[in-house]
Amino acid sequence: MSIKILLKDIPDYHKIEIYRQHGGYENIRKALQKTPEEIIEEVKKSGLRGRGGACFPTGLKWSFMPKDKNIPKFLCVNGDESEPGSFKDRQIFEFNPHQLIEGILISAYAIGAQTSYIYIRGEYAKWIRLMQKALDDAYEAGFVGEKMKETFGTDFYTNIYIHRGAGAYICGEESALMNSIEGKRGYPRVKPPFPAQYGLWGYPTTINNVETIANIPAIIQNGGEWFASIGEPKHPGTLLFGVSGHVNKPGVYELPTGTLLTDIIYKYAGGVPGNKKIKCVIPGGTSMPPIRGDQIEGLKMDAESLKQVGSAIGTGGIIVMDEDTDLVKVLARITKFYWHESCGQCTPCREGTGWMLKILNRILDGRGTSKDLDLLIDVANNIEGHTICALGDAAAWPVKYMIERFRDEFEARVNRSIKIEIPNKVHSMRRTQVPLKEIKINKD
């Protein structure tokens, strides 16, 4: 039995009239008859954990919001979706925008937010348009904004606005996202204070991922217990797994948590082209530790199971690499990303990512030594845990774990004899940076 909560096989589900035909916007009506506390309890009971990468329990996060009704409160829905390997939230924007809107209404009610922002990365121009269309329709139908009072006969209402970013991975970090909404550079803030105490413009704010919020109407409709019974008990529900890289049918697959990684790759994503072996898999976007091809047998895809193999579920973005993949190149590319995206506030992250990139490029050029591998791990260790936000860890983990788990491949690269094609041997040798004894001259 396949269960679909987010990406249903209903034609034109993105249209408001079709969504309503299937019970859409009835869940907010139902929710408004309960107290906000009851909704939070229901979400706690569901066991829903955030889909933005950190798997934080959603109900618990909501319960941190102060109950004071006389101060502004905000909900930010995180659709920055810039983690390499992730392309799931855009499926919701495109195919199920009204469920997201209804989810926002219920969530905003639960935490008492009068204003909600959907933060969408600027590059997603098409998906911003689609989402705006859905939002306009929902406003017109009286489901959003002040008209809610009339439609649902309550005091509560919330406005929903789209805030588009302008190209910066770091704005997906929750406090950077708030600074970006405030019209500032997207610098992460030092925590504590946490957003529930000091968020947008200093007022209580909750930040949740798009996929997290899109699950809420189904939880209200069918109850927390129903949701908790899907997939793995400690990390229940379905996940939108985005599969890319060396697979025959890349794409987004909605499957219960705990689905076998091998099933996702072979049954759903059609296996590896040319039936090649898998060398490496990144299970949850590039920020998560890569795992070896021989670790995937029997591996379930949920937060706890991935922890056991020394990785994490992240955003569920699975990147598959076949046996011919050059992992040094992959790691250098990943590191280049974090170096480019580092906001520059913390020295370990700003400088460390650059150093790691330089060393990796040196290895790529064939000028690396085995000392470089330890140096890389040393730099990574000096970044991890020593920064304002988790981008530092995200940059350190791939380096640490890729080298640890594929030591042989990296060793082979740095121990390769250095071949230099030289027309004028003496002259070139004098100029080369490489110690002479390491040079083996090609005789033929």
Ligand X SMILES: Cc1cc2nc3c(=O)[nH]c(=O)nc-3n(C[C@H](O)[C@H](O)[C@H](O)COP(=O)(O)O)c2cc1C
**Which residues make up the interface to ligand X (CB under 6 A)?**
50-54, 56, 78, 80-83, 170, 172-174, 207-209, 212, 389-391, 394
Which x/- pattern over 116-155 shows residues binding ligand SF4 (rule: CB under 6 A)? ----------------------------------------
User: 304, 300, 283, 284: which is closest to 234 by C-alpha?
Assistant: 304
**Exposure class string for 335-360: b at 16+ Cβ within 10 A, else e:** bbbbbebbbebbebbbbbbbbbbebb
Between 91 and 387, whose beta carbon lies closer to ligand SF4? 387
Least Å distance between CB 288 and another protein?
A: 12
Phi then psi for 333, rounded to 5 degrees?
A: -70, -40
Between 181 and 261, whose beta carbon lies closer to another protein? 181
Strand 278-282, strand 291-292: pairing: antiparallel
Q: How many Å apart are CA 173 and CA 171, to the nearest integer?
A: 5
Strand 278-282, strand 317-322: pairing: antiparallel
Between 152 and 401, whose beta carbon lies closer to ligand X? 401
Site for ligand SF4 in 325-344 (CB under 6 A): 342-344
The stretch among 245-253, 256-264, 369-377, 434-442 that binds another protein (CB under 8 A) is: 245-253
Q: Is 244 in the site for ligand SF4 (CB under 6 A)?
A: no
Q: How many Å apart are CA 63 and CA 333, to the nearest integer?
A: 40
Radius of gyration of the chain (CA): 24
Between 24 and 398, whose beta carbon lies closer to another protein? 398
The stretch among 89-97, 131-139, 385-393, 424-432 that binds ligand SF4 (CB under 6 A) is: 385-393
Between 218 and 321, whose beta carbon lies closer to another protein? 321
Helix or strand (DSSP H, E) at 118: strand 115-120
Cα dist. 205→28, 63, 72, 224 in Å?
21, 12, 9, 24
**If contact means CB under 5 to 8 A according to the sort of partner, which of ligand SF4, ligand X, another protein, none does residue 206 touch?**
none
Q: Is 267 in the site for another protein (CB under 8 A)?
A: no
Contact 136, 144 (CB under 8 A): no
Contact 111, 73 (CB under 8 A): yes
Least Å distance between CB 21 and ligand X?
A: 29
Beta strands in 157-237 (DSSP E): 159-164, 205-209, 231-232, 235-236
The stretch among 20-28, 148-156, 340-348, 431-439 that binds another protein (CB under 8 A) is: 340-348
Least Å distance between CB 206 and ligand X?
A: 9
Q: Is 277 in the site for another protein (CB under 8 A)?
A: no
The stretch among 103-111, 119-127, 383-391, 421-429 that binds another protein (CB under 8 A) is: 119-127
Between 26 and 393, whose beta carbon lies closer to ligand SF4? 393
Q: Which residue of 5, 32, 75, 181 would you call a contact of another protein, by CB under 8 A?
A: 181
Residue 142, classified by CB atoms within 10 Å of its CB into exposed (0-12), middle (13-18) or buried (19+), is: middle
Q: Is 341 in the site for another protein (CB under 8 A)?
A: yes
Q: How many Å apart are CA 147 and CA 139, to the nearest integer?
A: 8
Least Å distance between CB 97 and another protein?
A: 16
Least Å distance between CB 248 and ligand X?
A: 27
Q: Is 392 in the site for ligand SF4 (CB under 6 A)?
A: yes
Give residue 164's identity as a one-letter amino acid code.
R
Least Å distance between CB 167 and ligand SF4?
A: 15
Q: How many Å apart are CA 396 and CA 419, to the nearest integer?
A: 31
Looking at the DSSP bridge assignments, the partners of residue 320 are: 245, 281
Q: Which residue of 46, 58, 78, 82 would you call a contact of another protein, by CB under 8 A?
A: 82
Contact 168, 186 (CB under 8 A): yes
Contact 255, 265 (CB under 8 A): no
Q: Is 315 in the site for another protein (CB under 8 A)?
A: no
Between 16 and 247, whose beta carbon lies closer to another protein? 247
Least Å distance between CB 282 and ligand SF4?
A: 20
Q: How many residues bind another protein (CB under 8 A)?
A: 58
Q: How many Å apart are CA 60 and CA 189, to the nearest integer?
A: 22
Site for ligand SF4 in 154-173 (CB under 6 A): 170
Beta strands in 154-204 (DSSP E): 159-164
Residue 109, classified by CB atoms within 10 Å of its CB into exposed (0-12), middle (13-18) or buried (19+), is: buried
Residues found near ligand SF4 in the complex (CB under 6 A): 170, 188, 342-346, 349-350, 387-389, 391-392
Residues found near another protein in the complex (CB under 8 A): 72, 81-87, 89-90, 115, 121-126, 159, 161, 163-169, 180-186, 200-201, 203, 242-246, 250-252, 282, 286, 317, 319, 321, 325, 329-330, 333-334, 337, 340-341, 343
